[in-house]
Chain A
Amino acid sequence: MSEELKSLIQPHIDSFDFFTDHGIDLILKSNEPLYFEHKERQYKIKFTQLKLGKPVHNFKEKEVRFYPNEAREAGVTYDAPFKGEVSLYEGVDSDEPIHKVDVDLGRMPIMVKSRFCHLNGLSSEELIEKREEELEQGGYFIVNGNEKVVRMLVMTKANHPVALHRKAWTNRGPGYTKFGITIRCVRPDRTSITNNLHYISDGQITLRFLYRRQEFFLPATLLLKALKDTTEREIYENLVQGDNENTFLTDRVELSLREQKINNINTQEEVLDYIGSRFRARSQLPSSFSNTQIGQWFIDSYVFVHLPNYKDKYNLLVLMIQKLYSMVAGKSGTDNIDSAAFHEVLLAGQIFGSILGEKLTEYLESTRSFTLKHFEDKKKENDKLENVFKKTVEKNFKIGDRFNYFLATGNLRSNSGLDLQQTSGFVVIADKLNFLRFISHFRSIHRGAFFATMKTTSIRKLMPESWGFLCPVHTPDGAPCGLLNHLTSACLVTVDPLQDQKVLKARPLIPSFLATHGMLPIDMTTVFSHQYLTITLDGCVIGKIEQKAGEELVTMLRYLRSVGTEPAIPKTIEISYSPPSSVENSQYPGISLFTSGARFMRPVINLTSGKEELIGPQEQLYMEIAVVPNEVIKGVTTHIETSPTAMFSLLANLTPFSDYNQSPRNMYQCQMAKQTMGTPLHSYPFRTDNKLYKIQNIQKPIVHTKNQFKYRVNDYAHGCNAVIAVISNTGYDMEDAMIINKSAYERGFGHGSVYKNEYIDLDEGLSRFESKKTFFGRPNSSVDNLGDFIDVDGLPFVGRLIKPGEPYYTYIRPSDGKQVVKDYKGKEEAYIEEVRILFASGGTGREPSKINNICVKLRYNRNPVIGDKFSSRHGQKGVLSQLWPEVNMPFTESGMKPDVIINPNAFPSRMTIGMLVEILAGKAGAIHGKFQDATAFQFDEKNTAIDFFGEQLSKSGFNRFGNETMYSGTTGKEFEAEIFFGVCYYQRLRHMVKDKYQVRALGKVNALTRQPIKGRKVGGGIRFGEMERDSLLAHGASFCLNDRLMKSSDFAKIKVCKLCGSTLTIYSKKDYSNQTVSECKACKSTDSISIVSIPYVFTYLVAELAAVNITMKLTVN
């Protein structure tokens, strides 16, 4: 097992464990009952139990364990039974159900290697026994046989008020300004509601929330009164905090209190009653609820939902109002919501929780509506409620199916939107092209589909705040650039407090611990000082502290966090401190503590304690962290990075000497590593992926980085150490082409295979009555002469090379019992690797003699051919242009001939010095028989890599710069220039000519235009477009043009009437001698018809024009 590898995937597993262990219970608890009236009595329905089982399936009426690989091979979903209980209550407040019904909620997909998965905790040997990889890490779901990952998504940091400017807010109503504060409030079950505070131009503030996708605004001071039984004076004092000279603030607070006052509504009770009365019509609460109850319900479920306590809500609102006024006055600036400081992660478990909550409500709603509908029928009016209820519950939809749909499509079907900004693209297939690509899926984090459509580029920019959390190198170029990022290899995502006992125990201790260290508890008094800093804990205001004491407190807290001995300060607490500053647009000062889950954290070393400490992105902004020891400034620097490469993701860290390369080349390498034909897995016989690549002669790179070992990358090698000469030799190496030594190729360089799985289901496309009647078989085996192709059971021979058009399998047609032969439709010859007999997805089993569903694994030989793509690890890709005979290759004095020749012109403009250093280091390593460490930032100006590796070369009698005298293989003469010659790790990329070539002579044509169709798959042609046409015109090649656009396209001979010039009026008729002649109906003439050659689309144009009353006339001479 590899702990390091495990840590990369851990966030996904933790998140799903949170859902299964805590999320389901929390959702159940917070799920609201539904009310309805029947025969003038009030009823209430509610889920009272939810139970998720372990993955099992029924086999011969016994429950047996269901393992992930069974799902993979059978092409089904890895899921577990999900059951629940719905209760019916009489009366709104009743706690005693009159009836309970156990319901089957379908099957819930289970994340592989999560606590509910049978693979959890298995050793490597046991994993192999279960037909998994030795290093299987899980973290994905298996849906219909495909491995699917719920992508990490960036979310606004939970429970932290963020000050913003948004132009769009001015459209929200008259007087609305761009100023606002937004807070994403997250409940303990990780469902969230976003609240906004808006500044109105006259100085008032309103709070906005969404209810059933409609927006509502509440005046802030009114809300304050609803939250606390208080006086206007107290509200004023709370907001102003003794800063009476600040007339900007005092004027606005006074105005708000005056303007938002409603006649005779003063006490908390009255305000709640007022709010309730406004919402009564909107809410679907029973009529027996009082206005106050409704008002409370709205505040409970839509205002600051992370704080159950009204007093806490009040204090938070006060803080947010202060922050908003401070921003409007220009005392503090806006927060940058695009920076990592205000971000956290949305993971599978959280989305699952949100979906579950909503689906439970939907389930109850449909139960209610079906039940009520039943009684609308006069005949059934007197049915017993309990029985009807039971029946409707049983025929309700299955919640598990909704999860399956979500994972299969990545689409979210939701009424509320779940406080998310997108409805699709949550799930991606975890492509097992190679190990690196697979593992990268679990480290990638997307900014959100909404941002992909935005035209501004500011969100894509690399923020300094994301240093150490998001990799600056590992992002694709093109459309998703800067939106799809990858976590650094050291970055971790915190678990929910419920999953970590230490955090859970620490949380209640924090306020009292802080109070003993200088914090004044918030409920101590109403007025502190306006200069005091506010301390919040997970979005709950807990106290105030004097500035100087605050700073000391933060330093102490960080020390305690690094040491980890104080029970009140857990390791994963984030201690964010933004100091008061006179600088313009600086952040609103305060101390915010976070213990919640789903936050980014990363390790650095605390210089005071010398121990590793986890820090968050928000606090990092105001910390002094040195990268290397000699950067440490005494008295200023408090922390130091664990390593200078800590800022990189796993992939970026695998590029050797990446510090020598031009930056974009390292980005290209991160992309190309993910397109490499490598070793995705070792369990090939147990996999039925649509397409799997395998490279044959793999090696560990001689020049490696530390991460290569740490994350077991060498167990899944993806390339080969090639002897390389940088020389412009034959002309076949121009423009990024590369020459490969034919003998090297013959000895196995770059050899590989592609595996494809074809599912053949004889029931496909048949109705339910016709299915399960067709079976594979070959009854005519003695007479059909197919013995060379097909076995007696009707299935292909394993190990046989099958060519396009050859017989593939036979089956027995149920209608007449005759044998039907099907041919192999593929266009490339393949070996039959495996024939897998599949059982029906129900898993009940069928007699093996009656097979009607198989999966054939085909193996395609994919040795390098001209046009295949290769690349070094420095973003230097090239296309194989020639397999050059070994005798013609240049050779050195020692007799070495290169495997690969590349052109020196690949270097000057791209500046991949790292590649040159790699070649040098690889050469020295090959000579001395040792691996070379190429981790970035090891060398500097005084101690250069060239010296280090040049020295090694010199020692063994080679030129220190890697140059060698070479002789031409063809003439035998010595080259005048010395050639740079060494060893470089080469990857073979998956783009292969065999998958891409397109040729066409004759073929399908479009029925309407008779022009050749497009598309490689269907044998179409390549478009000869406008620009190509322009080119031929410019050359004056008119015959060539005529050939391309007419002769080889839609050449047609058309009859036209010379008299009227029409092509549409011509009909065929029989003449007196019974011969067919054409006649123009308009001119009544048969002699006037002549035949012209035109492109057939022309007739289409004529017809289209005729449709709009335009005649087209041809003048024919």
Chain B
Amino acid sequence: MSLSVTQLTRQPELDILEIKNESIVFTLSNTDISVANALRRVMIAEVPTMSIDLVEFEANNSVLCDEFIAHRLGLIPLVSDNVDKFNYTRDCSCSERCDQCSVEFKLNVKCSNQRPIDVTSSDLIVVSNNNNSVIPVSSQTTERTDEIPIVKLRQGQELRLRAIAKKGVGKEHAKWSPSCIATYQFQPIVTINQNRMDELSDKQKEEWVGSCPTKVFGYSPHNQSQPVSVDEPMRCMYCLECKKKAEAFGKPDLISIEQKQDKFIFTVESSGSLKPEDIVLSAIQIIKAKLNSIQTQLSEGMI
């Protein structure tokens, strides 16, 4: 099978469908699975963010042990819009750590009330004066509704610590992964064989339309003139329930569902540390940087 001219000369295209605070949906077309999957993998594992990586306990007589609190602190998403301005600690010129590669927080809470109190992400206070944009995601807003609880303290209990956030990637530890979800699906092509459809009774039509769990098809039994239509093809999840139903009616060619192999619908949800569109941008940058690095190495090798 030879490729057509359009396939040979195709250029990848990106089409944004929806952007929200936490998520982005876009289509990537005219490209292959390998590219789409590379983008997905980079968005999960290689886009850098800031996260607490080192905790020094000064006092902790809460019910949770040091390691557990440190682990919880690590998982708090920090606003990482300026992550590019930081160095990886391993690449930084400093000996141990410096303001170029880390942000220091302190947490000092003691419960003196009768009632137990919650220690939350809002109690983390930035100590470093280089950059105060790296803060827990919950501290961005003034209303304290989405605070992330760390531990509860009862009367007399105290938690005092220093926490150091560093730059890292999800490959190393999941806490650095900026995306909750980064996934794609193929665009489905759903076609109804209307001739076959006409052979069904109204009741059967209704039953058949109802068989789809995601409600891809539209049919109104009261409106005889309107045929069964494919209303929401994007919702299709290839469960083939409609196909099975059609087979049960003895009409296997009633419906055909195919995948458009070169069009991917991406969904990316952010953990809050980066804007969803920035995750995509950053991922593309990283792929580019990798290719660049190969390119330079190749050209250097040729000399």
* Cβ A886 vs Cβ B170 within 8 A: yes
The reply to whether the CB of B50 lies closer than 8 angstroms to some CB of chain A is no
* Nearest Cβ on chain A to B240's Cβ, whole angstroms: 8
Task: Give bound CA distance, A631 to B181, whole Å.
Answer: 52
Residue in contact with A799 in the complex, picked from B66, B75, B183, CB distance below 8 Å = B66
The reply to whether the CB of A861 lies closer than 8 angstroms to some CB of chain B is yes
30 pairs of residues in contact across A and B, judged by CB atoms under 8 Å: A684-B63, A742-B174, A748-B71, A751-B68, A753-B68, A799-B57, A799-B66, A831-B65, A831-B67, A861-B67, A885-B171, A886-B44, A887-B40, A887-B171, A893-B183, A895-B181, A895-B182, A895-B269, A957-B214, A957-B235, A959-B239, A965-B237, A965-B238, A965-B239, A971-B33, A971-B34, A972-B33, A972-B40, A974-B238, A974-B259
Q: A909 — which chain B residues lie within 8 A by C-beta?
A: none
Q: A833 — which chain B residues lie within 8 A by C-beta?
A: 65
Q: B68 — which chain A residues lie within 8 A by C-beta?
A: 696, 751, 753
* Cβ A753 vs Cβ B65 within 8 A: yes
* Nearest Cβ on chain A to B4's Cβ, whole angstroms: 23
Residue in contact with B213 in the complex, picked from A859, A861, A960, A965, CB distance below 8 Å = A960
The reply to whether the CB of A1085 lies closer than 8 angstroms to some CB of chain B is no
* Nearest Cβ on chain B to A271's Cβ, whole angstroms: 75
Interface string of A862-906 (1 = CB under 8 A from B): 000000000000000000000001110001111110000000000
* Cβ A747 vs Cβ B239 within 8 A: no
Task: Give bound CA distance, A831 to B64, whole Å.
Answer: 13
* Nearest Cβ on chain A to B60's Cβ, whole angstroms: 7
* Cβ B213 vs Cβ A957 within 8 A: yes
* Nearest Cβ on chain A to B224's Cβ, whole angstroms: 27
A743-B174, A887-B41 known; 18 new pairs, CB 8 Å cut-off, are A696-B68, A746-B174, A747-B75, A753-B65, A799-B66, A859-B65, A886-B174, A887-B40, A887-B45, A892-B183, A894-B183, A894-B267, A953-B213, A958-B213, A963-B239, A965-B239, A967-B184, A972-B34
Q: A411 — which chain B residues lie within 8 A by C-beta?
A: none
Q: Looking across the interface, which residue of chain A has its beta carbon closest to that of B58? A: A799
* Nearest Cβ on chain A to B172's Cβ, whole angstroms: 9
The reply to whether the CB of B132 lies closer than 8 angstroms to some CB of chain A is no
The reply to whether the CB of B209 lies closer than 8 angstroms to some CB of chain A is no
Q: A892 — which chain B residues lie within 8 A by C-beta?
A: 183
Q: A972 — which chain B residues lie within 8 A by C-beta?
A: 33-34, 36-37, 40, 184
* Nearest Cβ on chain B to A43's Cβ, whole angstroms: 64
The reply to whether the CB of A202 lies closer than 8 angstroms to some CB of chain B is no
The reply to whether the CB of A954 lies closer than 8 angstroms to some CB of chain B is yes
Interface residues of A in 479-501 (CB under 8 A from B): none
The reply to whether the CB of A234 lies closer than 8 angstroms to some CB of chain B is no
Task: Give bound CA distance, A958 to B235, whole Å.
Answer: 11
Residue in contact with A959 in the complex, picked from B36, B213, B269, CB distance below 8 Å = B213
* Cβ A743 vs Cβ B177 within 8 A: yes
Task: Give bound CA distance, A570 to B171, whole Å.
Answer: 70
Q: Looking across the interface, which residue of chain A has its beta carbon closest to that of B239? A: A959
* Nearest Cβ on chain B to A716's Cβ, whole angstroms: 15
The reply to whether the CB of B87 lies closer than 8 angstroms to some CB of chain A is no
Task: Give bound CA distance, A742 to B172, whole Å.
Answer: 10
* Nearest Cβ on chain B to A1057's Cβ, whole angstroms: 66
Interface string of B97-129 (1 = CB under 8 A from A): 000000000000000000000000000000000
Q: B239 — which chain A residues lie within 8 A by C-beta?
A: 959, 963-965, 978
* Cβ A831 vs Cβ B66 within 8 A: yes
The reply to whether the CB of B90 lies closer than 8 angstroms to some CB of chain A is no
Q: B217 — which chain A residues lie within 8 A by C-beta?
A: none
Interface residues of B in 64-90 (CB under 8 A from A): 65-68, 71, 75
Q: B259 — which chain A residues lie within 8 A by C-beta?
A: 974
Task: Give bound CA distance, A891 to B44, whole Å.
Answer: 12
Q: A213 — which chain B residues lie within 8 A by C-beta?
A: none
The reply to whether the CB of B215 lies closer than 8 angstroms to some CB of chain A is yes
The reply to whether the CB of B186 lies closer than 8 angstroms to some CB of chain A is yes
Interface residues, chain A, with chain B CB atoms under 8 Å away: 684, 696, 742-744, 746-748, 751, 753, 799, 831, 833, 859, 861, 885-887, 891-896, 953-954, 957-960, 963-965, 967, 969, 971-974, 978
Task: Give bound CA distance, A751 to B174, whole Å.
Answer: 15
Task: Give bound CA distance, A109 to B269, whole Å.
Answer: 62
Task: Give bound CA distance, A893 to B181, whole Å.
Answer: 10
* Nearest Cβ on chain A to B89's Cβ, whole angstroms: 19
* Nearest Cβ on chain B to A511's Cβ, whole angstroms: 61
Interface string of B209-246 (1 = CB under 8 A from A): 00001110000000000000000000101110100000
The reply to whether the CB of B173 lies closer than 8 angstroms to some CB of chain A is yes
Task: Give bound CA distance, A964 to B173, whole Å.
Answer: 28
Task: Give bound CA distance, A958 to B239, whole Å.
Answer: 8
The reply to whether the CB of B282 lies closer than 8 angstroms to some CB of chain A is no
Q: Looking across the interface, which residue of chain A has its beta carbon closest to that of B259? A: A974
Q: Looking across the interface, which residue of chain A has its beta carbon closest to that of B68? A: A696
* Nearest Cβ on chain B to A729's Cβ, whole angstroms: 16
Task: Give bound CA distance, A959 to B215, whole Å.
Answer: 12
Q: A893 — which chain B residues lie within 8 A by C-beta?
A: 183, 185, 237-238
The reply to whether the CB of B175 lies closer than 8 angstroms to some CB of chain A is yes
* Cβ A747 vs Cβ B215 within 8 A: no
Q: B213 — which chain A residues lie within 8 A by C-beta?
A: 953-954, 957-960
Q: A885 — which chain B residues lie within 8 A by C-beta?
A: 45, 171
Which of B34, B40, B237, B238 has its CB near the most chain A CB atoms (within 10 A)?
Answer: B237
Task: Give bound CA distance, A895 to B213, whole Å.
Answer: 18
Q: B67 — which chain A residues lie within 8 A by C-beta?
A: 753, 831, 861
Q: Looking across the interface, which residue of chain A has its beta carbon closest to that of B42? A: A887
Task: Give bound CA distance, A744 to B171, whole Å.
Answer: 13
Q: Looking across the interface, which residue of chain B has its beta carbon closest to that of A743? A: B174
* Nearest Cβ on chain B to A862's Cβ, whole angstroms: 11
Q: B215 — which chain A residues lie within 8 A by C-beta?
A: 957
Task: Give bound CA distance, A833 to B213, whole Å.
Answer: 54
Task: Give bound CA distance, A1069 to B41, whole Å.
Answer: 78
Q: Looking across the interface, which residue of chain B has its beta carbon closest to that of A953? A: B213
Task: Give bound CA distance, A894 to B183, whole Å.
Answer: 7
* Nearest Cβ on chain B to A796's Cβ, whole angstroms: 15
Task: Give bound CA distance, A895 to B270, whole Å.
Answer: 12
Interface string of B26-61 (1 = CB under 8 A from A): 000000011011001100110000000000010010
Q: A964 — which chain B residues lie within 8 A by C-beta?
A: 237, 239
The 5 nearest A-B residue pairs measured at CB:
A972-B37, A895-B183, A895-B181, A743-B174, A746-B174
Interface residues of B in 122-172 (CB under 8 A from A): 170-171
Q: B33 — which chain A residues lie within 8 A by C-beta?
A: 971-973
Q: A746 — which chain B residues lie within 8 A by C-beta?
A: 173-175
Q: B171 — which chain A residues lie within 8 A by C-beta?
A: 885, 887
Task: Give bound CA distance, A751 to B69, whole Å.
Answer: 12
* Nearest Cβ on chain B to A887's Cβ, whole angstroms: 4
Task: Give bound CA distance, A964 to B181, whole Å.
Answer: 17
Q: A894 — which chain B residues lie within 8 A by C-beta?
A: 181, 183, 267
* Cβ A959 vs Cβ B34 within 8 A: no
Q: Looking across the interface, which residue of chain B has its beta carbon closest to that of A859? A: B65
* Nearest Cβ on chain A to B206's Cβ, whole angstroms: 16
Q: B40 — which chain A residues lie within 8 A by C-beta?
A: 887, 972
Task: Give bound CA distance, A883 to B241, whole Å.
Answer: 35
Task: Give bound CA distance, A954 to B241, whole Å.
Answer: 11
Q: A833-B65, A957-B214, A972-B36 are in contact. Are A743 and B170 (CB under 8 A)?
A: yes
Q: Looking across the interface, which residue of chain A has its beta carbon closest to that of B183? A: A895
Q: Looking across the interface, which residue of chain A has its beta carbon closest to that of B235? A: A957
* Cβ A747 vs Cβ B174 within 8 A: yes
* Nearest Cβ on chain B to A752's Cβ, whole angstroms: 10
Q: A974 — which chain B residues lie within 8 A by C-beta?
A: 186, 238, 259
Task: Give bound CA distance, A1032 to B44, whole Å.
Answer: 49
* Nearest Cβ on chain A to B113's Cβ, whole angstroms: 18
Q: A886 — which chain B residues lie within 8 A by C-beta?
A: 44-45, 170, 174, 177
* Nearest Cβ on chain A to B283's Cβ, whole angstroms: 12
* Nearest Cβ on chain A to B210's Cβ, whole angstroms: 9
Q: A978 — which chain B residues lie within 8 A by C-beta?
A: 239
Task: Give bound CA distance, A684 to B64, whole Å.
Answer: 10
Q: Looking across the interface, which residue of chain A has its beta carbon closest to that of B268? A: A895
* Cβ B177 vs Cβ A959 within 8 A: no
Q: Looking across the interface, which residue of chain A has its beta carbon closest to that of B182? A: A895
